[in-house]
Structure 1
Amino acid sequence: MARESKPPLHHSIEADLRRKIASGEMGVGQMLPGRRDLAKHYGVSTLTVERAVDSLVRDRLLRSDDRRGTFVSAVSSQVPLKPRPTGEFAIGVVARLYMPHQDRGYGNNTWIREIVQAVEHEFSSEKHVTIFTNTVLPDGRVRPLREAVQAALESKIDGLLIVAIDSSPEEMLEVQELLALQDVQSVFVGSTELPRKAVQTFPDGFDAGYQAVGHLLRQGCEEIAYVSPFDAWWADQRGAGIAAAWEGSARPPERLRMLPLGEKRQWTVHPDAGRVGEETAEEVASIIGPRCGIIGANDEISLGLIRAMAEMGKAVGRDYLIIGFDDILPARDRHLTSLRPPWDALGREGARLLRSALAGTNESLLVRLRWRLIPRSSSRWTS
């Protein structure tokens, strides 16, 4: 879906003030109206006016006397009509990054660092400056995402990229409400589509589930079991993709099993999903037939299933195939086929969207990215 994107309001105000100085409408030595008066005149916030004025002060077209006010300081015939090059921007990046000793082993740093580094690489030019705001405080406490975004806005940035792959929909909505009152181009890098329209990019969980089924069918699996013990939006998205792929294959509906059959557990941020996978294994083993492909809702669940089913005498590649999601480090060591989120590509795409928004040429509102299937021996029959 395309959306017409306009340059930030403070650039328009800056250009108008610059024009007035160049035309002589505002003469040398003339005092600029107060920030509140200018904000009322242009119909914007005082922060937006402040950013426009600061740019003209940096260009020495205005001089600021803290006690008396702000005055025109340039000779009108020497004032360029154009503002500073639009390619020069202060880019704010908000994300949750723990210090090494604080990381809780959830993969947070690995995933988010990939995104942040990709963004920084895309803006690695002397024309730009990136300003990082961490939601993790020096003492290890995590402040609300909205609070971190507010801190970033106070840095007088031109554009803002918010990395929120581990934020709840409620947190995202709070940030969207805050940004609706600001004159800052913003892009969200998340895990799913936001509840309100915004420039955003995220990995497509539905498509990831669809890919998983396609891979197992190509390996000769005759039935699929999706093991999702948790009540979580991300698990439901993957499950919806799995169901759609199975329906599209025209195979018997009863050959797709959604497990466990009982009540699901509430998802928390750092559960022991591997242990839960182990606890689900007995039910899974009692239901599945030969040539079955198992899809765990994430890698930890799949690895837990493998451990527990091995104790029952069932071997991967002989009795069943199995896939997970996220491609955590143990997946590689234990030869688990997994779907990897394109974290680096998300960072690059987020930077591209923000650059286009700042230039007023953004043609994309929402960009879904495809997960990458990493095939390993857990999805290959041994005979």
Structure 2
Amino acid sequence: MTRRKFMQSSAAATLAASASLANAGVGSKDELLLVGTQTTGASKGIYAYSFDEATGELKQTGLAATIENPTFMALAPGGKRLFSVSEASDFAGTTGGGITGFNLDRSTGHLTEINAEPTGGPGTCHVAVDHTGHCAFVANYNGGSAASFHVSDDGHLSKAVSFFQYEGHGPNKDRQDKPHAHRVTVSPDNRFLLINDLGLDEIHIYKLDAKTAKLTPNEPPAWKSAPGAGPRALCFHPNGKWAYCVTEMTSTVVVFDWNAEAGTLEAIQTVELNPEGYKGETGGCDIIFDSKGRFAYVANRINDFMASFTISETDGKLALMERTSCGGKIPRHIALSPNDRWLLVANQVSNNISVFARDAKTGKLANSGKSFELAAPQCLVFA
């Protein structure tokens, strides 16, 4: 199957008529949604939206914070603070990107800056906060590095506590000429930090001292993917026993057993995102689960589709249900609404946020959804 035929098939599925898949009988409730953007165009920073969980309607309520390239954000436990990256090469007069902490007014969505710190490397693309709210972590894609920061009781970020500059390259000369740290993920028990490195085909694993935010290499220090796979995204199942890695360059999902005591990953399944026989350009992007951990949803940002999976209750393995449209071009991030009735997609190139109804019983998504215009959306966080 060629990329052209695959895209034609996907487009046909999108045009198919579909009944509403949202559950009935749930009362109207507005949720606060914060959206990070790429600010090289019309967008100016982080935007606040009111999301109607009964109808799936989005209403922009204002610019929550003016900040350069807030392409990823993380909400701290308790929901009163937000941390955002600035994916830049020059931040506050220093070479590299930045991390900024904000106090969040949940009633208005307004963000008030606490302080900001340089990350030590350019292209800061991901941020995570630990389960205590006192540690923050960043991945620097262009710099091929990662750093940790301590967060005080009043929300102030320290200078970098730990910093790791990776070296080497992968087999793909165009995409893996050097390290590319892409995601930072805290383990469910808060004892480890895992860092996806697309350039080196590795997931680096560190022991975390949550009192200080200090990281020390685990033993073994990393999991190695298939050559040229490009590990991009990582997410733990709600039960804490399994982890799932989306590879960007080979567009697969690798399912792991997670050894919480040793801090190690054991691959038990690899699932293809594209149809059998497809050999064209591809790009696995992101993965999320419903709150009960019965279904997984994965975005492909080159072929512009969503892949929906069931999750085995016994071993966590995935089984493909269907592929549907992402509602735009180049999906960068996906999120489920708090009541699990809607799946939202931030589509960067088509400048829109798509909202798809979801059937909680079957896990299936509507083939077509609502669309809301925003220049270069990158990250979706319900607060």
Length-normalised TM-score, structure 2: 0.25
Larger Rg: 1
Q: Which has the higher helix share?
A: 1
In terms of fraction of residues, the more strand-rich structure is 2
Higher RCO (C-alpha under 8 Å, 6+ residues apart): 1
